[in-house]
Amino acid sequence: MPESRQASPPPAKPGGVTPRGGGWLPHGFHLGTHSHPDGQLVYAAAGALATTTERGTWVAPASRVTWTPPGFDHSHRFYGRTDARLVAIPADECGSLVAYPSVFAVSPLLREALLALTGRDRRPPEAEKRLRAVVVDELGETPQQSLHLPEPRDDRLRVVTDLLRADPGRATTLAELGRAAGASERTLSRLFHADLGMSFHRWRTILRIHHALVHLTDGQSVTDTAVACGWSNPSTFIEAFSAVVGQTPGRYQAGLHGD
């Protein structure tokens, strides 16, 4: 996580964030399904969050921000004690942003703009609009798909993914899962590619990394996290985590505490 000032958000209302868009939330805090007429960015300046829509789930540690366009039903869950920052982007300012939920990397400039828009100091409306323009400009890059876990439409796939979600660390093979779903291994393999755009192995890896982020945010060691999330040894976990998140689990965990 880039080193920069940590602007303090205003105190949160009991159980939630303030209208200003900032507040500390407890581990496991959940905002149920809702939608907005405007677009919304949610950033965890500390901690981590998951944004879920009908298109799937995006997990965002402090190096990412989730984006939900106007009108999309969505929910949020926060992991670790989270410094949550919510920024509304008026619908008439969303034209250059992607029209589907996404997650973006947070550059140093984007981080500072998000903190400024959700800090204690209020600015005139025109000044805030200029800050939002900086945010939108920084989000002009292609959104990242590495932490996106798509939701299946096929009923047989839903059985499989539900079983995996219930126990991400389970070592069950696709053939064994197929017996529970009433489909062959070959059929399920084809469905993963056709319905979800990725292999069974890739989907399960991203699911496990979602859970690994939660474990690491909660203070568990890299070794314990690897075992709990289904890796046979820490080195293979570190390799997979680094490939998806862009940094090692140890570096990610150190960044949570500003080390």
For 195-220, the pLDDT digits (tens) are 999 999 999 999 999 999 989 988 89
Query: What is the tens place of the pLDDT at every residue in 177-189?
Result: 999 999 999 999 9
How far, CA to CA in Å, does 72 sit from each of 2, 67, 254? 30, 10, 34
Angle value at C-alpha 82, between 77 and 84, nearest 5 degrees: 80
Query: Of how many residues is the chain composed?
Result: 259
DSSP 144: B
pLDDT at 259 over 70: no
Tokens of 226: 């690897």
Query: What is the tens place of the pLDDT at every residue in 146-163?
Result: 789 999 999 999 999 999
User: Hey, where are the domains in the chain?
Assistant: 22-138, 151-256
Q: How much is the pLDDT for 8?
A: 45
Contacts of 33 (CB under 8 A, 6+ apart): 73, 74, 75
Architecture of domain 22-138: Sandwich (2.60)
How far, CA to CA in Å, does 71 sit from each of 18, 38, 109, 175? 21, 7, 27, 39
| Same fold? 22-138, 151-256 | no
Rounded mean pLDDT, 58-75: 91
Q: How much is the pLDDT for 20?
A: 54
Superfamily of domain 151-256: Homeodomain-like (1.10.10.60)
pTM for this predicted structure: 0.81
Paired sense of beta strands 30-34 and 74-89, if any: antiparallel
For the CA atoms of 38, 7, 216, 201, what is the dihedral angle to 10 degrees? 30
Query: What is the tens place of the pLDDT at every residue in 19-57?
Result: 457 889 998 899 999 999 999 999 999 888 999 999 899
